[in-house]
Structure formats: structure tokens, C-alpha cells
Amino acid sequence: MVDLSLVEGLKQALEKKESLRSAMASFVNAGYDPKEVESAARIVHSAQAQRPVAMNTEPTKPVQNHQKNFVLPTEKSRTLIQNNSDQKNQNLQKNNFQQEVSNYEGKSKKTKIIILIAMMIILLVALVGVFMFKTELMRFINNLF
């Protein structure tokens, strides 16, 4: 089952004159499953193919002629396009990991680990102190009440 929000998002991107391929890449980069995005793109593409081309009564424009001459891709060209988009997505992901933001996150993880270890040592010392001085602590607590 295809997520309807993906289909609607792809339709909106196409209405804003964005290419289907770049809209798909945007959704994949946003964390959506690539297979679901591809299924939604197929639905949007088939809906576009079934929709009438001439939407307004103005004289024909070059864009409309381009849409009329559109040829559906063959299976071989689909696999080539998919392989190219997969390579581009992999390159984008590699580039994203090389940003300095990832180095900053690594430093904060080290800081968090050091703080947690310090807190564990403090709690361990407190626990040992309670066991060592339990009689004195009991007397102190009884004298308070």
C-alpha cells in the first residue's frame, strides 16, 4: 500500500514545475523508503499520462508540444535511470557524512560519556558510604524525627 502523503507530495512538487526525479530524491533524502517513493512516483506518472495534455484554451506552447511527444521509457532505460539515481543518492549521502556537523556530534558524544561515567562514580561512592556508615545514618535520621 502506497502512502497517500507521498503521492500528494509528488503531485505538489510537479505542480511547482519540479522534475519527478528531483522530487523523488527529496523524499528519499527526507527518510522515506525508496521503494515506497518509487511506487508513489509510478502512480503519479501514470496519472499524468492518463490526464489530458491541453488544459487551457491558449494557443499551443512549446511545453505542451513537448508533453505530447513524451515517450514512455522502456524497461532498459528505467533500470539505467534508476542506477544513475542510486549512484547520485549514494554520492549525496557520502557528501553528507563529510560535513563538519558530524564532527561536532562526535565531540558531544564524548562529553556525554564522560559526564555519565562521573555520575556513576559519584553514585557508587555514595552507595559505599551508605553501607559503611549505615548505623550513623540511622541514628541521624531517627534524631531528626
- pLDDT single digits (tens) 15-70: 998 888 888 888 889 888 888 888 888 888 888 777 655 444 454 444 444 444 44
Return all residues near 21 (Cβ < 8 A) that are at least 6 apart: 81, 85
Which tops the pLDDT comparison, 107 or 49? 49
Mean pLDDT of 115-119: 96
What's residue 88's pLDDT? 64
The span from the CA of 110 to the CA of 107, in Å, is 5
What percent of the chain has a predicted confidence (pLDDT) above 90?
Answer: 22
pLDDT at position 123: 97
Does the pLDDT of residue 124 top 90, yes or no? Answer: yes
Cell reading at 13: 512538487
| Cα-trace Rg, the chain | 30
The arithmetic mean of pLDDT across residues 65-83, rounded, is 58
* Block residue for cell numbers 484554451: 57
Q: How confident is the model at residue 102 (pLDDT cuts 50, 70, 90)?
A: very low
**How many Å apart are CA 46 and CA 133, to the nearest integer?**
78
Among residues 14, 8, 27, 9, the alpha carbon closest in space to that of 67 is found at 14
